[in-house]
Amino acid sequence: MSNIRDLPNIFLEKGRTLLAAISQFVLLLQSDSKKNHKTLLRPGTSLGEWQRWKIASKKEEKHAARSAIEIVSSSKAEPLLLDASTAPPLAGSTLDWIVGVPTRDLIVIPLWVASQGDLQELIRLELSSKHLLRRGMSEGLKMITHEIQEERTLVVVFAPTSTPSVTTAPYLKKGHYFEAAARLLPIENVDLVLWKELGEVCFGFVKKNQYLWFSGSGENRVNSFLTELIKRLSSHLQAESVLTQIPQSVRMIGSFSMEERLLLQENLGISENACDLILELPGPTIPEPLLDLPSEQAREERALQEKKNRIKKIVTLALLGYFFFLFSGASNLLVKKMIVTHLSHQLSVDASSVRKANDEMIEWQEFRFAIDPTTYALDLLAAIASQIHGEKIRLISLSDSAGRVQITGEATDVSQAYHFLELIKKAPEFQEYEWTSSQPKLAGKNSVKFETEGSLPHAKTSPE
């Protein structure tokens, strides 16, 4: 038989099941709200080449900083190249991807706008007035404030192209964040940066260690057309007061030949000492904060994924609520069942005592008929009390000794006293008694006192 002491163990088992469901729900919420950006996908130097890098999380950086072996002076762990030529992210991948958007799939525009007002709205108006605002561009528009003067502000506007190139589209479909690949390069302390990206030479103008403008050239090597393009764009940006001077220093990242280097120096008038060459694509530098420049297709995928996550949360909440109510109902029924079982057991234990008491009561009732009721004063008192009706008679004393009964009481008047005495004489319990009564006496206002004595025939006569 179940015991009520088993309740804690049963509740513990049920509670573990409920805790498991809650843990799954919390993990689902954390997976959507607290993602560690651990994997970077960025375009390489050759056509069709994409690199996959592991970026240390904040927890790993803290662990590296506390390590007893100091490899570098910086507390940040260096990125680790996992794959020099990787495939696009698979659908449903659990990794947290940062995708470097190729330069050819981005639009970069430096603008001067008024310092007063909503910057986003002012940027849209400025782009619209220059017929640069294209379809779908507003939704992915991001900007970096570069310089603030008295009445105007220089901003650099970034936006993904409406239609990514065929070769890069599969890589731009999946990802949690999308950052410009150009912003992953080291651009400190130079005015001009040239690098190779997916087989194309790209270049960008830098001021105060921030890009003012960058773009692809459509060329696969440095030539006279490219150097003329850089000079014209430099003059144009100077006319727009975006640049204050032509580039005085350059950094070339990638496998550029000595001929290409000399051609760039000669056409741009840059000294050899001001030309920095990095033969291999260096490890990525993650800017903070990330711009997040998803393409239109990526935004649709993101919206679809968010919708799926919301549905998952709703279903999980519904199942959790259902399970909670089911658990509550089952627990309630279990408690009631245990209580009923306990009470049934208690009743079965008490039933034998009740039966024993009933048997004794029956025996007593059967035996009581064999006893003279006049022998017991309590029975006599019960017989006398049964003749009192209302408040007109009050019994004061009763004595029973050796077959003699003496009754003393009060009545409201003489007639009530005599009537009560007659009822006593006619009672079945007192049929064998011989009664003698004295005259009722006045005991007070609206009250008379009466006395009577009854004796059995075998009773001893009281001494005179």
Residue pair 226/217 in contact (Cβ under 8 Å)? The answer is yes
Q: What six digits make up the tokens of 175?
A: 């990802």
- Roughly what angle, to the nearest 10 degrees, separates helices 258-268 and 224-239? 40
| CATH number 3.30.300.20 is the correct assignment for the domain at 374-455 | no
Terminal-to-terminal C-alpha distance of the chain: 76
Q: Which residue has the tokens 């319990």?
A: 429
Q: What's the pLDDT score for residue 289?
A: 84
Q: Give the pairing type, strands 142-148 and 152-160.
A: antiparallel
Spell out the per-residue pLDDT of the chain, length 464, in tens: 445 555 555 555 656 665 665 665 555 555 544 444 578 999 999 888 899 998 876 555 555 445 434 433 334 568 888 888 777 776 555 567 888 999 999 999 999 998 888 888 888 888 888 777 777 677 778 889 988 888 899 999 998 887 888 878 888 877 788 899 999 999 999 999 999 999 999 999 999 999 999 999 999 999 999 999 999 999 999 999 999 888 999 999 998 999 999 999 999 999 999 999 998 889 998 888 888 888 877 778 878 888 888 898 899 888 888 888 888 888 888 899 999 988 988 888 888 888 888 888 887 776 655 555 555 677 777 878 887 877 778 888 888 777 788 888 888 888 888 888 888 888 888 888 888 888 888 877 788 888 888 888 776 554 43
3-state secondary structure of 289: coil
Q: Give the pairing type, strands 177-180 and 404-411.
A: unpaired
Residue pair 307/314 in contact (Cβ under 8 Å)? The answer is no
The DSSP code sequence of 401-422 is ETTEEEEEEEESSHHHHHHHHH
Residue pair 283/93 in contact (Cβ under 8 Å)? The answer is no
Question: Is the sign of the CA dihedral 347, 351, 352, 353 positive or negative?
Answer: positive
Q: What's the pLDDT score for residue 398?
A: 83
Q: Domain ranges in the chain?
A: 4-35+308-340, 39-294, 374-455
Q: What's the pLDDT score for residue 71?
A: 37
Q: What six digits make up the tokens of 170?
A: 């599969």
Q: What's the pLDDT score for residue 15?
A: 60
The DSSP code sequence of 315-383 is HHHHHHHHHHHHHHHHHHHHHHHHHHHHHHHHHHHHHHHHHHHHHHHHHHHHHHTTS-GGG-HHHHHHH
Q: Give the pairing type, strands 447-455 and 393-401.
A: unpaired
CA atoms within 13 Å, Cβ hemisphere of 75: 8
